[in-house]
């Protein structure tokens, strides 16, 4: 007979409850009651096969839990590393607007240094489409980082077109934006360690407001003149 402890280790909670009731009602040992309960659950399998199958399933479940914990720990470590970069390096946000699209361009950006020093950008930038506006905003933030002496930075933007295009291999990007991409790469090469990261528009509200505010500032200047 299989040891009681081994059977108890693979029995489900409901089966343990049923076996205790059986032991009490039939005046038999809990060991015998558990054997009968599990033999009934085996449904044609031998008791040994049932025990082995459940032990294998428990091992797989434990392995899966360890794997999930390992992945969770790795994600936490990556988040920690990214946070450390964000906290101790320079951080920037960029956004561009075309009014209409294509039309007049407004660019906005924010650059924050490790000691809290802040640069804000809000200017008009000629005419073009929204992708050109986004690129010009990114260039303006990178130029500000270079002037500030930054040697590492994380720059956030909500334009997947620009983030992906700037990171594309030479010749693989959008042809009409190639000159902007070349300028971005040259600036990054001079600064050093720069990471471009996409964020949703809801997390880029400050740069977005500055890009749109550029039109108001330009209008106010014209009216004052």
Residue-wise pLDDT for 32-62, tens only, equals 999 999 999 998 889 999 999 999 999 998 8
What is the reported pTM? 0.60
Q: What is the pLDDT of residues 78-88, one digit of tens each?
A: 766 554 444 45
Task: Indicate if 28 and 131 belong to the same structural domain.
Answer: no
Specify the pLDDT at position 106: 96
Residue 130: Cβ within 10 Å count = 19
For residue 128, the domain's CATH number is 3.30.420.10
Q: What is the pLDDT of residues 105-159, one digit of tens each?
A: 999 999 999 999 999 999 999 999 999 999 999 999 999 999 999 999 999 999 9
Question: Residue 152: CB partners within 8 Å, gap ≥ 6?
Answer: 85, 89, 90, 191, 192, 193, 194
Task: Indicate if 93 and 198 belong to the same structural domain.
Answer: yes
Task: Indicate if 113 and 146 belong to the same structural domain.
Answer: yes
State which residues form the domain around 38.
4-83
For residue 153, what are the β-bridge partners? Answer: 90, 194
């Amino acid at each position: 007979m299989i040891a009681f402890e081994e059977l108890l280790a693979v029995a489900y909670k409901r089966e343990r409850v049923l076996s205790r009731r059986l032991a009490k009602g039939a005046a038999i040992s809990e060991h015998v009651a558990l054997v009968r309960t599990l033999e009934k659950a085996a449904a044609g399998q031998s008791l040994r096969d049932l025990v082995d199958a459940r032990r294998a399933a428990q091992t797989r479940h434990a392995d899966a839990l360890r794997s999930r914990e390992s992945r969770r720990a790795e994600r936490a470590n990556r988040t920690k590393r990214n946070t450390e970069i964000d906290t101790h390096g320079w951080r920037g946000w960029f956004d561009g607007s075309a009014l209409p699209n294509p039309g007049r361009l407004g660019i906005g950006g924010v650059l924050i240094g490790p000691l809290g020093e802040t640069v804000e950008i809000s200017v008009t930038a000629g005419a073009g489409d929204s992708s050109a506006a986004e690129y010009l905003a990114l260039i303006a933030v990178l130029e500000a980082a270079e002037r500030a002496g930054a040697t590492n930075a994380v720059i956030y933007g909500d334009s997947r077109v620009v983030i992906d295009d700037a990171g594309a291999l030479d010749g693989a990007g959008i042809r009409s934006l190639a000159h902007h991409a070349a300028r971005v790469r040259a600036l990054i090469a001079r600064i050093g360690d720069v990471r471009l990261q996409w964020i949703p528009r809801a997390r880029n509200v400050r740069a977005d407001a500055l890009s749109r505010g550029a039109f108001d500032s330009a209008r106010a200047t014209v009216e004052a003149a």
